[in-house]
Structure 1
């Protein structure tokens, strides 16, 4: 994996970055790396794999994020995911939810860096695609300097191909998963110190990145930036990714063109029996800031949820948005 592979990505987000969301984001950027929602090893090994891991070829480059802590299970799940065609396998060492803690994976593994290294080594031995880790600065009362260094040392020794750091600690006691996304303070400087201490390790930053301009500023010191909620809530901002971060033309001119580009995927999915809302729920923020954006959202949230909603329903929603006012977005 080269640093450019991690240059810009959209974060894995539970209940959000499903296959329809990723296909939509791909219409906005050809270069952004996309991630699945976290999938547990138990689900991969024993669940409906085609539903959990299936994706469209248009999504490449796309990575699967695994949750688990048993090295053998992670190795087998990684092998299965590679067989589905994923470009990268990522290990979740950052999720703070109670369910994840009960399963001994996610952020609580920050306390077990040597074990994380063992997991990474097992995954590396099982697949040819890159294996990366997404982590926090530490958890609870851990010293972020010591905790992050210990994790980095362990995974580097195991051959990890890249480290994505959410630049906040996670408080496993006292804060909800939602609060853990905002309450612990961001410490970008800590991630920069990690990169400077390990120049050969590809390091990407996650947490609080609001615009592509923000992302570009962090690329002065780091190999990559991962954008989460801002990419989902204001997806039109992703149109700036290819020209601003990769020096390539944007795949679509604006949000209106993005809807038309996504329309082919929507039509195919509808023909397979998918419901329109499964796809359009990821588009509600597309016209933020434009006159008619509220009407667009309302139409998709009401008419768009009906059983007979189709591509014409989506186009009717778009027709409610003004084309007169130019979009004014930070690059």
Structure 2
């Protein structure tokens, strides 16, 4: 029998080139109950590509959501069905990515200009699966600054049966800004997400964008149902070590692991992955896993020694997961030297 899912109080955003299966396993060693999201997977990749390569994940990743990119209801329904068959706990539709490549595919943030189409997509996916179908979106497009725009968008999609909305509280500038600039330049308007919760109290509203501290999380949770962390969770992952105790205190399995325990938990996983998918498999390299762990010691004396050891190309080429333990030892030695 499938375990009941925790609430989406905390989650880690889908981030291209970052939140792959190895990153998610690493994050899962730090927090048991925070929701994890895949990188965006396009419907085309699932219709015409290597489905296992895009959808395979590790059992310990639960709760884990599959984010889809697409705009054809039938294709999205097919992709959602695959996601449910693969065992994902949620399917999320990307209506927030502003990249030109995504725009050329007529999906991502530009879908906010077509709420009727998004509603059709959501309905098709909901008809195809029994797991939750959610939407991640921006608060506006280009120069559209009115709250009414995002309110009407959410209302239309809610009418199609979607009950969970993840609000990246910035506009998406479709022309003239890179995806990186779109994450930094448009001003954050958290109050738009707060207003959505007031206007749609029955909906689950999660807020995303520029959130970095526990104090900020606590402040947002006074107004909305959940907080999604993005880059901060990647660059400073140990921030999440206290999440289970603080936000999921009533659930079993939560803990506050030490960094040493996180490293110890990753070693057998890394060894197993290299044995399964190394040179004789898909060519997996040690760096494919260690690159996600560079921020584990962020803010701690000795962090630089840790990063340098994990960035040593010669050592990485040997493919020995013990490098991770050695990197931790070097950081601890550097830390000890500072106190002499």
User: TM range, normalised to the smaller chain?
Assistant: over 0.9
Equivalents in 2 of 1:142, 1:318: separation in Å?
Answer: 48
Asked whether the equivalents of residues 75 and 122 of structure 1 are also in contact (C-alpha less than 8 Å), the reply is yes
Equivalents in 1 of 2:334, 2:176: separation in Å?
Answer: 48
Shift of 1:212: 2.8
- Report the TM-score when normalising by structure 1: 0.94
1:251 aligns with 2:255: yes
Q: Deviations over 1:9-35 (max 9, x none)?
A: 000000000000000000000010000
Shift of 1:6: 1.8
Equivalents in 1 of 2:85, 2:209: separation in Å?
Answer: 31
Change (3 A) 1:199 1:234: same
1:41 aligns with 2:43: yes
Off by >6 Å, runs of 4+ in structure 1: 323-326
Shift of 1:321: 1.2
Equivalents in 1 of 2:333, 2:215: separation in Å?
Answer: 25
Equivalents in 2 of 1:323, 1:61: separation in Å?
Answer: 36
Equivalents in 2 of 1:297, 1:7: separation in Å?
Answer: 31
Change (3 A) 1:155 1:40: same
Q: Deviations over 1:76-120 (max 9, x none)?
A: 110011110000000000000000001100001111111111110
Q: Deviations over 1:179-218 (max 9, x none)?
A: 0001001001111001000000000000011023321221
Shift of 1:251: 3.2
- Report the TM-score when normalising by structure 2: 0.92
Root-mean-square deviation (Å): 1.8
Out of 316, 320, 323, the position equivalent to 2:330 is 320
Equivalents in 1 of 2:228, 2:12: separation in Å?
Answer: 6
Asked whether the equivalents of residues 277 and 304 of structure 1 are also in contact (C-alpha less than 8 Å), the reply is no
Shift of 1:264: 2.0
Out of 112, 123, 126, the position equivalent to 2:125 is 123
Shift of 1:45: 1.1
Shift of 1:305: 6.0
Shift of 1:298: 1.1
1:266 is matched with which residue?
270
Unmatched 5+ stretches in structure 1:
327-331
Aligned length: 325
1:194 is matched with which residue?
196
Unmatched 5+ stretches in structure 2:
279-283
1:297 is matched with which residue?
307
